[in-house]
Chain A
Amino acid sequence: MTALHDMTLSGLKAGLDTGDFTAVELVSALLGRIEGLDPQLNAFITVLGESALADAARADELRARGEAGPLCGLPIVHKDIFCMRDVRTTCGSRMLENFVSPYDATIVERLTGAGAVVLGKTNMDEFAMGSSNETSFFGPVKNPWDTARSPGGSSGGSAAAVAARLAPAATATDTGGSIRQPAALTGTVGIKPTYGRVSRYGMIAFASSLDQAGVITRSAEDAARLLGAMSGFDERDSTSIDHPVPDYVGELDASLDGLRIGIVRQHFDAGLDAGCAQAVRDALAVLEQRGAVLTEVDLPNLDYCVPTYYVVAPAECSSNLSRFDGVRFGYRAENPEDLLDLYCRSRGEGFGAEVKRRIMTGTYVLSAGYYDAYYLQAQKVRQLISEDFRRAFADVDLIAGPTTPTPAFKLGDKTDDPITMYLNDIYTIGANLAGLPALSAPCGMVDELPVGLHLVGPHWSEGRLLAATHQYQQDTAWHEAAPEAFR
Chain B
Amino acid sequence: MSGRWEVVIGLEIHTQLATKSKIFSGAATAYGAAPNTQACLVDLGYPGTLPVLNREVVRMAAMFGLAVNATVAPRSVFARKNYFYPDLPKGYQISQYELPIVAGGELYIAGDDGERKRIGITRAHLEEDAGKSIHEGFDRQSGIDLNRAGTPLLEIVSEPDLRSAREAVAYMRKIHSIVRYLGISDGNMQEGSFRCDANVSVRPRGQEKLGTRAELKNLNSFRFVERAINFEIERQIDVLEDGGEVVQETRLYDADRDETRSMRSKEEANDYRYFPDPDLLPVEIDAAWVDELRATLPELPDAKRERFVAQYDVKPDDAEILTASRALADYYEAAVAASSGAPQAVGNWVIGELTGALNRDGLDIAESKVSAEQLAGLVDRIADNTISGKIAKEVFDAMWAGEGSADEVIAARGLKQITDTSAIEAIVDKVIAANPGQVAEYRAGKDKLIGFFVGQVMKETQGKANPGVVNKMLKAKLAG
Contacts and interface: CB of A to CB of B under 8 A. Distances in A.
Given A235-B52, A322-B84, A322-B90, A328 B44 contact: yes
B280 interface: yes
Contacts of B271: 367-368
A369 to B, nearest CB: 9
Contacts of A236: 50, 52
Interface stretch (A130-138, A146-154, A202-210): A202-210
27 contacts: A83-B48, A91-B47, A101-B47, A101-B48, A102-B41, A102-B46, A201-B48, A202-B48, A204-B48, A207-B278, A236-B52, A239-B50, A319-B91, A319-B92, A319-B275, A322-B92, A325-B91, A327-B144, A328-B44, A328-B45, A329-B47, A339-B86, A366-B82, A367-B271, A367-B273, A368-B273, A371-B275
9 nearest CB pairs, A to B: A322-B91, A208-B278, A366-B273, A209-B278, A323-B45, A202-B48, A204-B47, A323-B90, A83-B48
Contacts of B278: 207-209, 239, 316
Interface in B85-112: 86, 89-92
Contact of A105 (B45, B48, B89, B90): B48
B279 interface: yes
Contact of A238 (B44, B45, B86, B280): B280
B47 to A, nearest CB: 4
Interface in B261-297: 267, 271, 273-275, 278-281
B53 interface: yes
A96 B48 CA distance: 13
A343 interface: yes
Contact of B273 (A102, A208, A363): A363
A208 B91 CA distance: 16
Given A208-B279, A322-B91, 9 more contacts: A83-B48, A89-B47, A102-B46, A203-B48, A237-B52, A319-B91, A319-B275, A322-B90, A325-B84
For B49, B92, B281, which residue has the most chain A Cβ atoms within 10 angstroms?
A: B49
B46 to A, nearest CB: 7
A325 B82 CA distance: 14
Interface of B: 41, 44-53, 80, 82, 84, 86, 89-92, 144, 267, 271, 273-275, 278-281
Contacts of A101: 47-48
Interface in A206-242: 207-209, 235-239
A201 B91 contact: no
B86 A315 contact: no
Given A91-B47, A322-B91, A329-B46, A343 B84 contact: yes
Contacts, number: 95
B84 A375 contact: no
Given A327-B144, A366-B82, A375-B275, A103 B46 contact: yes
Contacts of B144: 327
A201 B267 CA distance: 35
Contacts of B281: 238-239
Contact of B275 (A89, A235, A339, A366): A366
Contacts of A203: 48
Contacts of A96: 47
- Most chain B CB neighbours (cut-off 10 Å) among A83, A323, A339, A375: A323
A327 B144 CA distance: 9
B82 A319 contact: yes
A367 B89 CA distance: 21
A200 interface: yes
Interface in A338-387: 339-340, 343, 363, 366-368, 371, 375
Contacts of A339: 86
B84 A205 contact: no
Contacts of A200: 48, 50
Nearest to A340: B267
A237 B52 CA distance: 7
Interface in A101-134: 101-103, 105
Nearest to A204: B47
Contacts of A237: 50, 52
Nearest to B279: A208
Contacts of A363: 273
Given A102-B41, A236-B50, A327 B86 contact: yes
For B49, B273, B279, the residue with the greatest tally of chain A CB atoms inside 10 Å of its CB is B273
A201 B49 CA distance: 6
Contacts of B84: 322, 325, 343
A238 B42 CA distance: 13
Contacts of B47: 83, 89, 91, 96, 99, 101, 204-205, 323-324, 329
A91 B280 CA distance: 23
A319 B83 CA distance: 9
A328 B273 CA distance: 24
A321 B41 CA distance: 16
B275 A239 contact: no
A113 to B, nearest CB: 18
Contacts of A99: 47
Given A203-B48, A328-B45, A238 B279 contact: yes
Interface string A59-102: 00000000000000000000000110000010100001001011
Contacts of B49: 201-202
Which of B47, B51, B280 is most buried by chain A, counting CB atoms within 10 A of its CB?
A: B47
B279 A103 contact: no
Contacts of A324: 47
Interface string A248-261: 00000000000000
A363 B268 CA distance: 14
Contact of A205 (B48, B91, B92, B280): B48
Contacts of B45: 323, 328
Interface string A418-430: 0000000000000
Nearest to B80: A319
Nearest to B52: A238
A424 B92 CA distance: 32
Given A316-B278, A319-B91, A323-B45, A201 B50 contact: yes
A431 to B, nearest CB: 17
A236 B273 CA distance: 26
B83 to A, nearest CB: 9
Residue from B50, B51, B82 with most neighbouring chain A CB atoms (10 Å): B50
A101 B48 CA distance: 10
A315 B275 CA distance: 9
B254 to A, nearest CB: 24
Contacts of A315: 275
B18 to A, nearest CB: 23
Nearest to A211: B278
Contacts of A105: 48
A82 B47 CA distance: 10
Of the listed residues B45, B51, B89, the one surrounded by the most CB atoms of chain A closer than 10 A to its CB is: B45
Nearest to B144: A327
A237 B278 CA distance: 11
Given A103-B46, A201-B48, A366-B273, A323 B89 contact: yes
Nearest to B273: A366
Nearest to B270: A368
A235 B51 CA distance: 10
Contacts of A327: 86, 89, 144
A371 B444 CA distance: 96
B469 to A, nearest CB: 76
B190 to A, nearest CB: 28
